[in-house]
Every structure is written in C-alpha cells, then in structure tokens.
C-alpha cells in the first residue's frame, strides 16, 4: 500500500463525502475521528495524515484506502461492457465466411432495418449483439444488392462503434464503408462518418483536409440539388467546421458553418436520406453545431440563445436522438458556466431519462457532473444518483 501523498487527499475525502451524502460531523463520527481533523484535512491545513487515519476514513466512506491516497484519477472507460462491442470488432476483421445456408437479400435487408431501429432508440446492447451476425451474412451475400447492403451494414456498424467510444475500430469500419461505396455520393456519406471518428481521436488536420476535399468533389448546384446531395455536402461542411473550431481557426470554422447553413436552407427541414440512413441533416442540426462552436469557444450565453431556436426539435422519422442529446450536454455545460447548477443537473437528468445508454457512454456528461460535485458544498440525493449513474469519479 502506498504512503499517503497528502497533496490532494483532503480534496478526495471531501468529494467522496459529498457523494455519500455525509456531513463532516457524520464522517468524523463514522470514522471515529474529530470533526476538527476532518475539517482541517479538507481545507488542506493538515499535511501529516497517517496511514491509519486514511484507513479509518476509507472504511467510513466505503472506498479502498488507496483511492484516497492515489492522486492520479483512474482512466476513463465508457460504461459499456466489452462483451457488447468486442464481438463486433472481431466480426469486422473476419474474412468472408462460407455458410452452410446462403443468406438472402431480403433477410439481410430485414435485419438491417431492425438494426437501424435499435440504433434510433439507443438500444446499443441489443444492437451490439446482432451486428456480428449481420456482418457475417452480408459478407456472404451474392447478387446485385450485395454491395449496397454491405455499405449500409458497415455504416450502421460505424455509428454503433462511435456511440460506444471504440473510435479506432469505428475508423476502420468507416474505411471499409468507403471501400464498399457504389458512387461518389455514397463515398461522401462514408467520409462524413469517417471524419466523425477521426475527429474524436483528435486528428484535426486530417479531418479538415479529407472533408474539404470531398466537399469540393460532391458540391452540388444548390438550385437543382437532390436532398441526398445537400445532406452529404452539408454534412462534410460540418466536419470541416468541427475540425477548424477545435484547431482555433475561427474564419475557416465560420465559413464552413455558412456553407452548411446554405445546404440546410435548401432542404428546409430535418431529413434522413440515402445513402446514409442514420444521420440527421437540416436547419436544426446546423443550429446544434453552431451551439457546439459557441461551447468550444466558451460562450455559454450564445449556446443558450441558439438553443431557443431548436427547443422543440423532433427527430426525423427513423432517426436517432444522439445529435440532439449531444447538443443538450452543451446546454448543460452552458448553464453550469453561468453558475446555474440546478438547471445544469436538470438538463442532465432529462437526457438520462430519455437516453440512458447513450449518456452513460459520454465522458462529456461525466466531466460536467464532476464539476457540479466539485462546486457544491452538499449534493442532493438526486445529484448523487446521477453522479453514480454517469460514473463520475470520486
């Protein structure tokens, strides 16, 4: 067992005490210590905490003693069991199988439709269980529909792996999707998905270059463009903007948003179109992205102002809610930056009630709740329940 470092032990004791809903007096009583000692520890006035004292506190707080003594936080892991996503990753790398009974295009189409419905309702556990069989069957499929169905199945796989935070595997699936694309428009939709995974991995320059190049290739004449063309081109512009704003290149980010808004105005509404059946694009999606830019630039008042325009947003038929939920995390963050902790927690609770599997895989949500815990002198039972559900470190 390591010796106490003392540098941050008081902060950790205070954080865990609040999560347990205990006062300093209640902790002192449970640990058979004086209230004065607990108070001085939390205020950083005591630098000579003994191992025995740390053990008494740990027993009272029901955590390992090493948790109070170790200054480095544990590495973050999404709250998604590996047995949900690991078989999908394995199936991605598997060669095309020889099956005793040849699958049919109708059967694969039906399974694909079921998988999209699971994704739209954030049932990621069930989706992870069915994807290996879908990938196996679609790779064994022959006939004119085989490549189209492979492309669509891989797109669904990319979306699933991104949601459960397996970015490297999602990027590999996105490359396979691009290889399976049947035309330039389908390729552009695959690049939208690929850029999203690269962006999450911090590859800003690569995303900006890739999305810009493909946006130039698929740029339509807006006056006669199809919904699919507008959605793919607009989606690529959003990826350019996302990379630029994170790279502190404000003019490029603003220009990309301007072009995306042109595409959204051309559509006039939120749509989910072929060749990518999973992602929204339209005026609300662009507004969500404008709010994200404001959040990255730490302009919370702007985030809340933009939120007013999409407060009554409803997903397009058959579409998931992840984009909307991600926007609501920006809203929660904005409330917290404006010192409205109660409203911040209410937004997080609403998202948790609406999409529990989604939010528990979001480090952003965990970080926001961690800041709430840090700021509050005491936590309500509802706050403690939410912090536990999000896996906020103690």
| % of the chain residues with pLDDT over 70 | 95
CA torsion sign for 281, 287, 288, 289 is: positive
CA 21 – CA 26 distance, rounded (Å): 9
Domain extent listing, the chain? 9-69, 80-166, 181-313, 321-394
Residue 206 predicted with pLDDT over 60: yes
Residue 345: DSSP 8-state? H
Q: Using one digit for the tens of pLDDT, what is the confidence trace for 36-64?
A: 889 988 888 876 777 778 888 988 999 88
Q: Using one digit for the tens of pLDDT, what is the confidence trace for 83-97?
A: 889 999 999 998 877
Residue 5 predicted with pLDDT over 50: no
pTM for the predicted model, two decimal places: 0.83
CA 380 – CA 366 distance, rounded (Å): 17
Which token pair is 76? 């973050």
Q: Which CATH number fits domain 9-69: 3.40.50.300, 3.90.1710.10, 1.10.260.40, 1.20.1260.10?
A: 1.10.260.40
- The SS3 call for residue 384 is helix
Residue-level pLDDT at 338: 97
């Amino acid at each position: 067992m390591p010796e106490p470092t003392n540098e941050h032990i008081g902060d950790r004791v205070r954080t865990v005490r609040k999560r347990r809903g205990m006062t300093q007096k209640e902790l002192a009583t449970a640990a058979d210590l004086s209230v004065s000692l607990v108070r001085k520890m939390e205020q950083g006035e005591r630098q000579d905490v003994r191992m025995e004292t740390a053990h008494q506190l740990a027993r009272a707080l029901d955590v390992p003693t090493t948790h109070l003594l170790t200054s480095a936080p544990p590495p973050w892991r999404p709250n998604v069991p590996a047995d949900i996503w690991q078989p999908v990753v394995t199936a991605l790398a598997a060669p095309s199988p020889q099956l005793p009974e040849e699958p049919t295009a109708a059967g694969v189409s039906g399974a694909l439709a079921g998988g999209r419905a699971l994704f739209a309702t954030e049932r990621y556990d069930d989706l992870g269980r069915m994807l290996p069989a879908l990938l196996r069957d679609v790779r064994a499929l022959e006939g004119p529909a085989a490549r189209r169905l492979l492309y669509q199945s891989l797109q669904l796989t990319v979306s699933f792996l991104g949601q459960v935070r397996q970015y490297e595997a999602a990027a590999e699936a996105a490359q396979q999707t691009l290889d399976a694309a049947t035309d330039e428009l389908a390729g552009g939709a695959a690049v939208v998905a690929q850029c999203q995974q690269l962006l999450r991995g911090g590859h800003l320059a690569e995303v900006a270059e890739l999305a810009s190049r493909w946006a130039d290739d698929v740029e339509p004449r807006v006056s006669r463009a199809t919904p699919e063309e507008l959605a793919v081109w607009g989606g690529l512009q959003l990826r350019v903007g996302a990379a630029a704003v994170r790279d502190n290149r404000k003019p490029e980010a603003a220009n990309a948003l301007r072009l995306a808004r042109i595409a959204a105005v051309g559509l006039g509404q939120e749509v989910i179109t072929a060749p990518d059946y999973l992602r929204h694009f339209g005026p609300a999606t662009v507004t969500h992205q404008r709010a994200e830019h404001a959040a990255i630039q730490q302009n919370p008042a702007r985030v809340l102002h933009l939120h007013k325009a999409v407060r009554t947003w409803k997903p397009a038929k058959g579409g998931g809610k992840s984009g909307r939920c991600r926007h609501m995390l920006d809203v929660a963050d904005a409330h917290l930056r404006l010192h409205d902790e109660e409203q911040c927690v209410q937004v997080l609770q609403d998202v948790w009630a609406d999409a529990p599997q989604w939010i528990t895989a979001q480090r952003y949500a965990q970080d926001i709740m961690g800041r709430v815990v840090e700021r509050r002198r005491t936590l309500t039972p509802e706050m403690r329940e939410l912090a536990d559900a999000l896996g906020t470190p103690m």
